[in-house]
Amino acid sequence: MSTTTRQQLETLRFILNEAYTLAMMAVIAAVLTAAMVMQYGFGELPCPLCLLQRVAMLGVCFGLMQNFRHGFSDRNLGYSLLFSVFLLVVAVRQTLLDIYPRPGHKYVGSAVLGLHMPVWSIVIALALISAFAIKLCVIGTEDGARPPERNSPFSRLAMVLSLYVIAIAVVNFGSVVVQCGLGQCHTEGYALLK
Amino acid sequence: MMAIIFATLSAALLVGWFGRRFFAIGLVAVALLLSIHLFLWEIHSPEYGFRMPWIET
């Protein structure tokens, strides 16, 4: 294989890597947006474990965002994977908590396609872990790949998406303060609005 | 506690994008540790501990 062909393949691999990372971040941002629509639009307040699942998804985004800000690195993949595993553990425990009908325990919120939020969280966590595994199999290591050029479409899209994720985190912070105050979180109503 | 976790994580995301990477990683590590602590506290029952007797057969 000639040097030019090798360089072209390497460039293609980096572009694929950037597109894949952006797509993952967009999907998580969409999931978090849907959760916020359910909360503010339909009045379904998140339970404490649901809020921890949002924390986990934002943590996954942290690792993805670092790639575009400071260059691609396997360490960033590690941060995202850590939070993906945390999401899986929290979601499985919450699903098991309400899996058997008993007084005072039922799945919070309404079902989407027959599945409640904690079960969806398991699906999302498994999808994320699988997506990282597929990325490593197909694209390979990201170590050494530079962030996209400042004026490239990928860079602009990454900046918009990253700022959107940061905005989601800040809005959720404000929402948590209103819902929980500095104490324990409940789903009966917003603690500071009572 | 939840408010502190979200504050730390929001700060990590902001610092990670606008500031020093080293501080951002520190903040995100604190957020993860606090989240794990809160998770264990939430699922611990004085009666059952961490067991889930309702799914035991």
| Residue range A39-48, pLDDT digits in tens | 999 888 899 9
Length of chain B measured in residues: 57
- DSSP string for residues in A132-146: HHHHHHHT---TTPP
Q: Which of A104-108, A142-146, B20-24 has the highest mean pLDDT?
A: B20-24
CA A136 to CA A52: how far, in whole Å?
27
Domain range for A155 is 3-193
SS3 A101: coil
CA-closest candidate to residue A87, choices A123, A134, A113: A123
Q: Is the pLDDT of residue A93 over 70?
A: yes
Domain count for chain A:
1
pLDDT digits (tens, 9 = 90+) for A54-74: 999 999 999 999 988 888 888
pLDDT at A145 over 80: no
Give B15 to chain A, closest Cα distance, Å. Answer: 10
> Would an 8 Å CB–CB cutoff place B33 in contact with chain A?
no
A172 neighbourhood in chain B, CB within 8 Å: 6, 10
Picking from A48, A59, A173, the nearest residue to B7 by CB comes out as A173
DSSP B48: T
Sign of CA pseudo-dihedral A112, A114, A117, A122: negative
The reported pLDDT for the residue numbered A142 is 67
CB neighbour list of residue A40: distance below 8 Å, 6 or more residues apart: none
Show residues of chain B in contact with A185, CB under 8 Å: 2
Question: Which residues, listed in sequence order, are joined to residue A105 by a DSSP beta bridge?
Answer: A102
CA distance A3 to chain B (A): 35
The answer to whether A39 and A175 have CB atoms below 8 angstroms apart is yes
